[in-house]
């Protein structure tokens, strides 16, 4: 069964605006971690932000914030004040405590327009 679902294959956003990338997950493990990675056209995987299942507050890292809704099993990434350099593919991933594996979603391609 798919553990991570990203329903938006592609999105366009205007420069300086905010964009929300959806991610829902499925797990029965009460202890898990959620990660977002960015993959620019050059191909490398860049870690952006992490949220633990027991964290009380939503994670933030600069212009990135994670809208964590545990009951709904969603972990949406919000990018504020989009820049042209934010154009990339974004992956949501989950790791359950009983496993070292990262389970990835299919990814969302973001294109920032000037």
Partner 1 sequence: EAQVTQNPRYLITVTGKKLTVTCSQNMNHEYMSWYRQDPGLGLRQIYYSMNVEVTDKGDVPEGYKVSRKEKRNFPLILESPSPNQTSLYFCASSQPRFGTEAFFGQGTRLTVV
- 12 lines the binding site for partner 1 (CB under 8 A): no
- Which of 5, 67 has the CB closer to partner 1? 5
Token pair for 66: 């994670």
- What's the rounded Cα separation, in Å, for the pair 36 and 91? 6
Return the residue of 40, 97, 111, 113 that touches partner 1, per CB under 8 A.
Answer: 97
- 66 lines the binding site for partner 1 (CB under 8 A): no
Phi, psi angle pair for 76, to nearest 5°: -80, 140
The residue length of the chain stands at 114
Lookup result for tokens 């990339």: 88
Count, residues near partner 1 per rule CB under 8 A: 24
- The residue among 4, 17, 9, 25 whose CA lies nearest residue 68 is 25
Return the residue of 28, 41, 44, 71 that touches partner 1, per CB under 8 A.
Answer: 44
Q: Which residues bind partner 1 (CB under 8 A)?
A: 4, 6, 9, 31, 33, 35, 37, 43-45, 47, 50, 52, 91, 93, 95, 97, 100-102, 104-107
């Amino acid at each position: 069964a798919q553990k991570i679902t990203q329903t938006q294959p592609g999105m366009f956003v205007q420069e300086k605006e905010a964009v929300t990338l959806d991610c829902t997950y499925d797990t029965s493990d009460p202890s898990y971690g959620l990660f977002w990675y960015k993959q620019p056209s050059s191909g490398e995987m860049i870690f952006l932000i992490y949220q633990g299942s027991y964290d009380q507050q939503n994670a933030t890292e600069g212009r990135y914030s994670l809208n964590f809704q545990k009951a709904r099993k969603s972990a949406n990434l919000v990018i504020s004040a989009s820049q042209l350099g934010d154009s990339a593919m974004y992956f949501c991933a989950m790791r359950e405590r009983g496993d070292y594996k990262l389970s990835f979603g299919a990814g969302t391609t973001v294109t920032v327009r000037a």
